[in-house]
Amino acid sequence: MYNYKNYLLTSLVTIFASCSLMLQAACVDAVVLVHGNTATPASWNNTYNYLLTKGYSSSDIYRPDWGLKSCAACNDHSGSEETPVRNALQQALANSCTGKIDVIGHSMGATLAAQQIDKLAIASQVNSFVGIAGAFRGLLSCGVYPYNVWNSTCGSAGLSVSSPFLDGLYGTRFGQKVYSIKSYSDQVVCASGSCLVYGIHSSSIWGENASYNYVLGHFGLQTDTVEQQYQLIK
């Protein structure tokens, strides 16, 4: 006799398995994660692994590796530092099934990602831009350009307050939605004793849709805010 109960059970299992595969293969924006000065793509492991649990595949996530690791003061936003980030943005756009991407940058990676979005003129194709612990208004510890500028990171293509690089970036839109994640306990952005540049937190981005404050250090803002990062790009 035909066992309809087993047939029904097998059919249900097949349906659930198919639904699971469909969810896993859901179309999502490709995501570009840009690390900070002297960091590595592995600094995004918490975010990367969290996105995998939310239906992203490894092929949806791009983690460019840029800059010298042994000389933080040597890196700026000009030349060889630009190329890996620019390539990742272009590859993510070319392969994104939605035709759009999300970009999350930490520290100097946030300003580097913003620069490349501007240079490529792709802001309209960036659904969400999230700057984490970025110095969008400069680092007081780098001085005010051109005074007390003592290395490349703080130079004309770097993060001194009112550097030509930052002045050229000011007012630019980096995505359809723009967010910042920041802290008043940030030991890098606030190294001078103040997080404010001309009265505004340096990690705040002009025209942003929202900004989120955490009581975390510079690196904790990257590793310990993964759920917030996901909420901003989903």
The dihedrals phi and psi of 67, each to the nearest 5 degrees, come to 80, 160
* 3-state SS record for 77-138: CCHHHHHHHHHHHHHHHHHCCCCCEEEEEECHHHHHHHHHHHHHCCHHHEEEEEEECCCCCC
Instruction: Flag whether pLDDT at 23 surpasses 50.
Output: no
Tell me the average pLDDT across 212-222. 98
Token pair recorded at residue 126: 């960036």
What does the DSSP 8-state code read for residue 163? -
Tell me the average pLDDT across 6-21. 42
Amino acid sitting at position 119? K
**Mean pLDDT over each residue of the chain, to the nearest integer:** 92
Percent of the chain with pLDDT over 90: 87
Beta strands in the chain (DSSP E): 30-34, 61-62, 101-106, 126-132, 139-144, 160-161, 177-182, 196-197, 200-201, 210-213
CATH superfamily of 29-233: Alpha/Beta hydrolase fold, catalytic domain (3.40.50.1820)
**pLDDT value at position 87?**
98
Whether this prediction's pTM lies above 0.85 is answered by yes
pLDDT tens digit sequence for 62-101: 999 999 999 999 999 999 999 999 999 999 999 999 999 9
Can you say how many angstroms the Cα of residue 108 is from the centroid of all Cα atoms in its chain? Answer: 10
219 vs 150, residue with greater confidence: 219
Q: Taking the domains of the chain in order of start, what are their residue ranges?
A: 29-233
Q: For residue 220, which of 106, 96, 52, 78 has the smallest C-alpha distance? A: 106
**pLDDT value at position 25?**
61
